[in-house]
Structure formats: C-alpha cells, structure tokens
C-alpha cells in the first residue's frame, strides 16, 4: 500500500513538474508576446493521431538568426536618448529577448548606406595602400559594438554590395542606369549578361587583398568576421551599389585569388558562395563543379529568387551548409499580412535545409525609405521628430523563432502540416513554432513521443511552445 501511494504521489509530482515546464507565448495583431496558461499536457500512446507529430529525427543544425547592420539604421537610432537606444538594442540582441546572434554587415555601401563609398576609392591602387575603414569607425562599428555590449557572443558575417568603383567595368558603384538616383549614364551601365568586375589579374589580386585588409581592420577593432559571402546578389545589375558576376567568374575569383590570399595571410574567416539571388540551380552547380573554388567554399547563401533554388540544391547536396542571407523587404507598411509572408519564407528556407535566417533592416526611421526611393520594412521603426518607437509585427515573428531556438539546436522532422517548425535545443528542450493564419481560433494537437499538448491557437497568431 505504501509503495502504491508513493508511486501515485511521485507520478503526480512528475506530471505537475512537466506541466510547469511548458511555456506558451503567442502574438496576434492586437496583442503581442502574451503568455497563455491554458495549456494541457497528458500521456498518450505513441500512435496517437495529431495535427503536429514531432519525431526524434534530427535534421540540420542551427547556426543562428539575426539581421543586418546598416548606416541608416544607426542614423535613426542615434536620434533617441541613450536609455531608449539601449532598450532597443537590448530587445534585439539580449539572450533573454530576440537573441540575434549571427548578424550581417556590408563591406562598403549597401542600398541603406547614407551614400556611396568603399574602403579604397583611389583608382589603380592595386597594393591597397590607401585602404581604410575610417567611415565605419563613425557609423557601423559603433552600431556593432553597441550590440556586442548587450551580447558579447554576437557573431558577424560580411558581404560587399559593390567592389570599389575603379575595379568595375562601369567605373561606378551601380550596375544599371538611373540618372535620378545614381547619375550613371546608360551607355556605361553593365551588360545584362556580363560580369561587372574587371576580370584582369591586377584587379583580381587587388580585390582579394581588399577582403583580407577588411577582415584584419575589423579584427583590430575587436570585431571578428566569421564569414564572407563574396557578392551581394551577383545575378542583378541594380541602381544602387551592385555588381553582377557570371557564376564561373565568381568561382574563379574564389578559387584562384581569394582563397589563396586568405591562406597567405592566415585568415580563418570562412568563404561562402553567396548571397545568390537566382532561381536557377545551375548557377550554384557551376561553382560546385569548380574544384579549386570548392576547396575554399564552406557553404552557399540564398536570398530573394534563391528561395526557388534551395530545395533542389539541398536535395542534391544534403551535406552542404546552406544559409538564408536576406529576408525580402516588403513595402514599408510593416503590417501583419507581410509578417505572415515572412513566416512563409522562414518556414520554406528552414524546411529546405537552411541553418541560418537573416532579416534585412533591423532598425529604420518610420518612413523606411532607402537612398534610392524604395520604402521597406524593418523590425523597429523610429519617428525621428517625436522619438516614437514601434516594434513591428516582424519583430515579434523573429523573436518567436530566435528568442527560443538556440545556437546548435537541431530542426526535428515532423509530419507534413505546413505552418510549423520544431527544434530540439542543446539543453534538450523541444521548441515548436506554429502559426495560425486563419481568421478564427484553431485547435491543435501536438504529439512528441508519448506526450500530447492540446492548444487552442488564437486567430491570426504566431505561437511558440517550449517544453
């Protein structure tokens, strides 16, 4: 009798402890980051029917989530008093908040820089004598260092939008002509099919040295560059800083010049074939057939139209590291509908092998307007005149993922229900991100092993359940 009573008490204690360890956070358009206590967990058989059935089969290992440091973001942030600035940085980078751990920085001007620039605008300076990061010391480096003050373990990867103009066929930062925004004459614009870089030995040597000097200069500032993706969107000529590369030329630069320069200078920064914005898998296959390039390439980066190529590449090369490198930017409305679209991108990339998901602009002023006139979304919007700060729906969506899924977690295989992802963290906890896009509440049965969670999801909601 005593043994039976002890068993019942012990079993009750175990179930109560397990239930107390379940955490459920949800966000809707009306209320964000709400804790729901009405969650049920019970023992069931392993054959229990479920809307979401989570297995123990581990898929890709997660390397991190984050966004991009851009000049216009820091410009907006510095209009606020120090306390408000620090609060935003804390909500983005603190391990107890959104926990952005792997973040991007442009090498020179991006389309959200305050103006065109590179680290060496002295033409024909092949030895890079005039290389310097002086401008970054006033804008991007203070931004990054402020983030690292919140989370010292934060990691940085980098990519150029454009080489220095004198290394390009257009002798300009842009690849396509738009006299309103860039002053590039139509006859100077790059051909739609041609590489925009001057494929001459001296220029290729100089550009490899440019990468090396950038990494060393940032290291002297206390910022290690974990990886470089050699060209932002090499499949497009843009009115903003850009440089089109044929796949074979980009692979040739990596295999014959950049990799060798890194070896010579004892640089351990990883080289990725990214950030590629084409749906054509042959662009990636071309690089992967180049043995010299693949000696140095540690992974592939995908963004925009690259989303259509990643399922094919992952299926053909399941062993390769794949990163999603830039979330699509929206139209500046920062509404719930677009956050749901961003969820579809997150789900698609991670379901097809991506180990990283990178948002684009973390912070902008409330207009979201780029230097070339396109309004885009951001996680946080700041009204410069009033100091009003708004955390947009995509901030909460990203936090539902990055705030719970730790570095080195594994994605877990589940059934085919489309609007969820499941992970196991290094501490053994299971994280389920599930989205209800319907206009009404939705009952969900989630099964893991012999445990069943019954959850009634709010209409139009993002939900994270951790147990």
Band (47; pLDDT cuts 50, 70, 90): confident
CA distance 226 to 217: 14
Provide the pLDDT for residue 179: 83
Provide the pLDDT for residue 12: 37
Provide the pLDDT for residue 8: 36
Provide the pLDDT for residue 371: 86
A 10 A CB-CB count for 74 gives 20
Interval 445-466: pLDDT, tens:
999 999 999 999 999 999 999 9
CA distance 155 to 159: 14
Q: Dihedral, CA atoms, 417, 418, 419, 424, nearest 10 degrees?
A: 70
Provide the pLDDT for residue 21: 81
CA distance 446 to 451: 8
Provide the pLDDT for residue 15: 37
CA distance 425 to 428: 5
pLDDT over 90 at 37, yes or no = no
Closest listed residue to residue 169, CA positions, set 218, 138, 203, 146: 203
Which residue intervals of the chain bear CATH 2.60.40.1180?
A: 24-59+414-466
H helical segments located in 254-366:
259-264, 281-288, 291-294, 310-316, 336-351
Average pLDDT value over all residues in the chain? 94
Return the SS3 of 84. helix
Interval 332-361: pLDDT, tens:
999 999 999 999 999 999 999 999 999 999
| CA dist 160 → 118, 186, 238, 402 (Å) | 9, 23, 14, 25
Give the CA angle between residues 441, 92, 215 to the nearest 5°: 135
A 10 A CB-CB count for 58 gives 13
Tokens at 63, concatenated: 């390397």
CA distance 299 to 204: 22
A 10 A CB-CB count for 15 gives 13
For the beta sheet containing 420-424, the strands, ordered from the edge strand earlier in sequence to the opposite edge, are 34-35, 23-27, 461-466, 430-436, 420-424, 410-414, 52-61, 442-448, 451-457, 40-43
Interval 380-430: pLDDT, tens:
999 999 999 999 999 999 999 999 999 999 999 999 888 999 999 999 999
pLDDT over 90 at 18, yes or no = no
Which residue intervals of the chain bear CATH 3.20.20.80?
A: 63-404
Provide the pLDDT for residue 29: 98
Where are the extended beta strands (E) located within 191-310? 225-229, 270-276, 297-303
Over residues 373-379, mean pLDDT: 96
pLDDT over 60 at 2, yes or no = no
Write the CB contacts of 1 (distance below 8 Å, at least 6 apart in sequence): none
pLDDT over 90 at 70, yes or no = yes
**Is domain 24-59+414-466 in CATH 2.60.40.1180, yes or no?**
yes
Closest listed residue to residue 237, CA positions, set 321, 327, 145, 172: 172
Where are the extended beta strands (E) located within 22-130? 23-27, 34-35, 40-43, 52-61, 64-68, 102-106
Over residues 6-10, mean pLDDT: 36
Strand partners, 26: 34, 463
**52 and 423 Cβ atoms separated by less than 8 Å:** no
Closest listed residue to residue 323, CA positions, set 293, 295, 347, 303: 303
**289 and 266 Cβ atoms separated by less than 8 Å:** no
Strand partners, 466: 23, 431
Interval 225-259: pLDDT, tens:
999 999 999 999 999 999 999 999 999 999 999 99
Provide the pLDDT for residue 417: 81
Band (155; pLDDT cuts 50, 70, 90): very high
Determine which of 147-161, 170-184, 254-268, 382-396 has the lowest per-residue pLDDT on average: 170-184
**Is domain 63-404 in CATH 3.20.20.80, yes or no?**
yes
CA distance 210 to 220: 15
Interval 264-302: pLDDT, tens:
999 999 999 999 999 999 999 999 999 999 999 999 999
Over residues 160-184, mean pLDDT: 94
Helix (H) or strand (E) holding 433: strand 430-436
DSSP 8-state secondary structure symbol assigned to residue 258: I
pTM: 0.94
| CA dist 240 → 13, 154, 234 (Å) | 62, 29, 13
CA distance 398 to 359: 8
CA distance 207 to 212: 9
Cα separation of the two ends of the chain? 33
A 10 A CB-CB count for 268 gives 9
Band (6; pLDDT cuts 50, 70, 90): very low
| CA dist 87 → 33, 90, 167, 399, 427 (Å) | 17, 5, 41, 15, 28
Over residues 143-158, mean pLDDT: 98
Provide the pLDDT for residue 199: 98
pLDDT over 70 at 321, yes or no = yes
CA distance 5 to 118: 74
Percentage of the chain beyond pLDDT 90 is 88
| CA dist 165 → 123, 181, 239, 406 (Å) | 8, 16, 14, 40
């Amino acid at each position: 009798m005593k043994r039976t009573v002890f068993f019942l008490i012990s079993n009750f204690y175990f179930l109560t402890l397990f239930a107390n360890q379940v955490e459920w956070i949800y966000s809707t358009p009306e209320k964000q980051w709400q804790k729901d206590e009405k969650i049920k967990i019970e023992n069931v058989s392993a054959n229990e029917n479920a809307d979401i059935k989570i297995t123990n089969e581990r898929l890709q290992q997660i390397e991190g989530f984050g966004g991009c440091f851009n000049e216009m973001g820091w410009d907006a942030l510095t209009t606020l008093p120090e306390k408000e600035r620090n609060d935003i940085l804390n909500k983005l980078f603190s391990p107890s908040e959104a926990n952005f751990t792997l973040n991007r920085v442009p090498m020179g001007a991006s389309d959200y820089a305050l103006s065109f620039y590179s680290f060496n605008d002295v033409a024909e300076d092949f030895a890079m004598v005039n290389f310097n990061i002086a401008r970054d010391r006033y804008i991007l480096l203070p931004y990054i260092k402020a983030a690292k003050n919140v989370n010292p373990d934060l990691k940085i990867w980098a990519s150029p939008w454009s080489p220095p103009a004198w290394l390009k066929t257009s002798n300009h930062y842009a690849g396509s002509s738009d006299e309103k925004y860039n002053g590039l004459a139509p006859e100077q614009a790059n051909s739609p099919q041609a590489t925009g870089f001057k494929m001459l030995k001296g220029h290729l040597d100089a550009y490899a040295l440019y990468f090396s000097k950038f990494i060393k200069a940032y290291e002297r500032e206390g910022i290690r560059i974990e990886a470089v993706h050699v060209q932002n969107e090499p499949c497009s000529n843009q009115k903003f800083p850009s440089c089109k590369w044929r796949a074979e030329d980009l692979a040739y630069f990596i295999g014959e010049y950049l990799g060798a320069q890194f070896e010579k200078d004892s640089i351990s920064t990883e080289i990725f074939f990214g950030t590629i914005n084409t749906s054509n898998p042959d662009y990636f296959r071309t690089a992967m057939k180049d043995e010299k390039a693949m000696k140095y390439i540690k992974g592939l980066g995908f963004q925009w139209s690259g989303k259509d190529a990643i399922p094919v590449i992952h299926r053909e090369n399941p062993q390769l590291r794949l990163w999603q490198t830039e979330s699509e930017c929206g139209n500046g409305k920062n509404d719930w509908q677009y956050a749901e679209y961003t969820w579809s991108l997150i789900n698609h990339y991670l379901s097809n092998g991506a180990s990283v998901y990178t948002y684009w602009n973390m912070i902008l002023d409330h207009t979201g307007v780029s230097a070339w006139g396109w309004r885009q979304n951001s996680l946080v919007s700041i009204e410069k005149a009033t100091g009003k700060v708004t955390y947009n729906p995509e901030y909460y969506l990203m936090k539902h993922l990055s705030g719970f899924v730790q570095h080195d977690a594994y994605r877990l295989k589940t059934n085919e229900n489309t609007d969820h992802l499941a992970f196991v963290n290094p501490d053994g906890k299971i994280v389920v991100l599930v989205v209800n896009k319907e206009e009404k509440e939705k009952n969900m049965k989630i099964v893991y092993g012999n445990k069943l969670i019954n959850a009634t999801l709010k209409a139009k909601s993002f939900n994270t359940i951790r147990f």
